[in-house]
C-alpha cells in the first residue's frame, strides 16, 4: 500500500538544496510538477517555506536517495511507517458532505427496502441522518417522497461497503431466534400436514400388530390420509354449512 508524503513542498525544498536529484525525480516523489520544482530551485516558488528532511521523519532513506542519484530513471518510494497509528473511532452520526446531503433520503429508502432488519440507530450511523427523516421516508410522508429513488448508500459515497456489511451483520444476529419463534405460529399447508401425518403413521405401523390383520389396519390408516378423501370431507363440511 503506497504511503502519502507529508509536506511535499517543504520536502521538495530540502531535496533541491541537499541532493543531486533531477527535477523530474523530485517532482515524482513529491507529487509536484517538474516546472514547480524548477521554480523552487530558482527561488520563484515556496520562497518562505523551510525545507523538511524526509530522512529524519522516516519517509525516505539515505540508500533510496543514493540509488536515485545513481540512476536518473529511478523513482523513489515513500518508506513504510515504523509506527502504525490506529484510526480514531467515530462517535455519533457520520458527517455527510453538503454536496451529498440531498441524497440521504434516497439512501434511507434503499436501506429500508433492502435491509428492513436494520434499526434506526444503525441507519443514522450509516448515512448521518435523523430518526424523524427515517420515519418520514418509511411512512412516505417525506416532503419529497414522490421524487425519491432508492439508491445504494455505498454508490452515493455516504458510507463504505465495510460499514454497511458490519451493520447488516449486527442486525442479523437475532434473526435465527426470531425465525424459531415465528416457526411455531406459521400455518402448514395441506400437503405439509398430510406428509407429516403420513410419516407419523409409517413410524407407528408396528402399533397395529403383525400379520394380515395388522397390515389391513395400517392400510386403513393410510387410506384415511389420502388427499382426495381429506378434501372431499372438507367440501362436504362446507356444503353442510351452506345448507344451514
Question: Domain ranges in the chain?
Answer: 8-70, 98-177, 187-218
CA distance 119 to 108: 12
User: Please, is 108 exposed, middle or buried when counting C-beta atoms within 10 Å of its C-beta (0-12, 13-18, 19+)?
Assistant: buried
CA distance 96 to 118: 20
Render pLDDT for 188-241 as a digit per residue (tens, 0 to 9): 565 666 676 666 655 555 544 555 555 565 555 555 545 556 566 666 665 665
Higher pLDDT, 80 or 149: 149
Render pLDDT for 128-187 as a digit per residue (tens, 0 to 9): 888 999 999 999 998 888 888 999 988 888 888 888 898 889 888 865 555 454 555 455
Instruction: Please name the helix (run of DSSP H) or strand (run of DSSP E) that holds residue 183, with its range, or none.
Output: helix 175-183
Render pLDDT for 92-109 as a digit per residue (tens, 0 to 9): 555 656 656 688 899 999
pTM above 0.85? Answer: no
**pLDDT of the residue at 65:** 93
Amino acid at each position: 500500500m503506497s504511503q502519502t508524503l507529508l509536506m511535499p513542498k517543504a520536502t521538495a525544498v530540502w531535496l533541491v538544496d541537499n541532493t543531486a536529484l533531477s527535477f523530474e525525480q523530485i517532482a515524482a516523489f513529491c507529487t509536484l510538477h517538474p516546472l514547480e520544482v524548477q521554480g523552487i530551485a530558482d527561488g520563484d516558488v515556496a520562497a518562505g517555506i523551510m525545507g523538511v528532511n524526509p530522512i529524519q521523519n522516516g519517509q525516505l532513506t539515505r540508500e533510496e536517495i543514493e540509488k536515485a542519484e545513481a540512476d536518473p530513471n529511478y523513482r523513489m518510494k515513500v518508506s513504510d511507517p515504523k509506527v502504525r497509528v490506529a484510526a480514531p473511532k467515530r462517535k455519533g452520526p457520520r458527517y455527510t458532505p453538503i454536496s451529498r446531503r440531498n441524497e440521504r433520503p434516497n439512501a434511507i429508502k434503499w436501506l429500508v427496502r433492502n435491509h428492513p432488519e436494520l434499526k434506526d440507530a444503525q441507519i443514522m450511523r450509516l448515512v448521518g441522518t435523523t430518526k424523524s427523516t427515517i420515519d418520514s421516508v418509511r411512512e412516505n410522508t417525506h416532503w419529497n417522497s414522490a421524487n425519491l429513488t432508492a439508491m445504494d448508500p455505498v454508490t452515493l459515497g455516504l458510507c463504505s461497503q465495510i460499514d454497511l456489511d458490519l451493520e447488516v451483520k449486527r442486525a442479523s444476529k437475532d434473526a435465527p431466534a426470531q425465525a424459531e419463534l415465528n416457526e411455531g405460529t406459521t400455518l402448514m399447508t395441506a400437503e405439509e400436514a398430510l406428509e407429516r401425518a403420513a410419516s407419523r403413521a409409517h413410524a407407528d405401523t408396528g402399533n397395529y400388530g403383525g400379520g394380515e390383520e395388522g397390515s389391513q389396519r395400517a392400510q386403513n390408516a393410510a387410506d384415511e390420509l389420502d388427499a382426495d378423501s381429506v378434501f372431499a370431507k372438507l367440501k362436504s363440511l362446507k356444503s353442510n354449512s351452506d345448507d344451514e
